[in-house]
Structure 1
Amino acid sequence: MQGIGWASLKKNPALLPLYFCVGCGALGATFYIIRLATRNPDVTWNRTSNPEPWQEYRNKQYKFYSPIRDYSKTESPAPKYE
């Protein structure tokens, strides 16, 4: 298949931006999936050491972007289980 090997890429350099964009997209998707697996309060990796992981995020920001800077002054959307 043309465009896959290094020799054919030298003959057709117009494919380089395509490979760059696809590579950046794959890298961004991989980063976001890893971030969701490690930072999201819905994911629990070790249930024995922290049986209630949602309590850990009561006053923390876990969204990717939020205009609120200080979460300690706002009311937490997490429910209070007692």
Structure 2
Amino acid sequence: MQGLSIASLKKHKALIPLYVCTALGCGGALAYLARLAFRSPDVSWNKKSNPEPWQEYRNKQYKFYSPIRDYSKEESPAPKF
């Protein structure tokens, strides 16, 4: 297929922005996936040292965007068991 090698990309320069946009989209998706894996309270990597990991987020903001700036003054969205 044309456009898959460096030599053919030199002939078809219009494909370069397509590859750049695709690479940026894949990189952004991977970065967001990594953020969800490491910052989300729904994911627990080590249950032995912390059997209730959601308790760490009682007074922290873990949402990507929230109009509430300080969770220490507001009601926490973490469940109370």
TM tier relative to shorter chain? over 0.9
- For residues 9-67 of structure 1, the C-alpha deviation after alignment (integer angstroms, 9 at most, x for no partner) is 01111001100110000000000111111111010000011010010000111111112
Aligned position for 1:35: 35
Matching residue's letter, 1:34: A
Could you tell me the TM-score, scaled by structure 2's length?
0.95
User: What is the root-mean-square deviation in Å for CA atoms of aligned residues?
Assistant: 0.8
Return 5+ residue gaps in structure 2 as ranges: none
Identity over aligned residues, as a percent? Answer: 72
Q: Is 1:77 aligned to residue 77 of structure 2?
A: yes
Inter-partner Cα distance in structure 1 for 2:35 and 2:3: 33
> Within 5 A, what are the aligned runs for 1:21-60?
21-60=21-60
Q: Which runs of 4+ in 1 moved over 4 A?
A: none
Aligned length: 81
SS in 1 for 2:78: coil
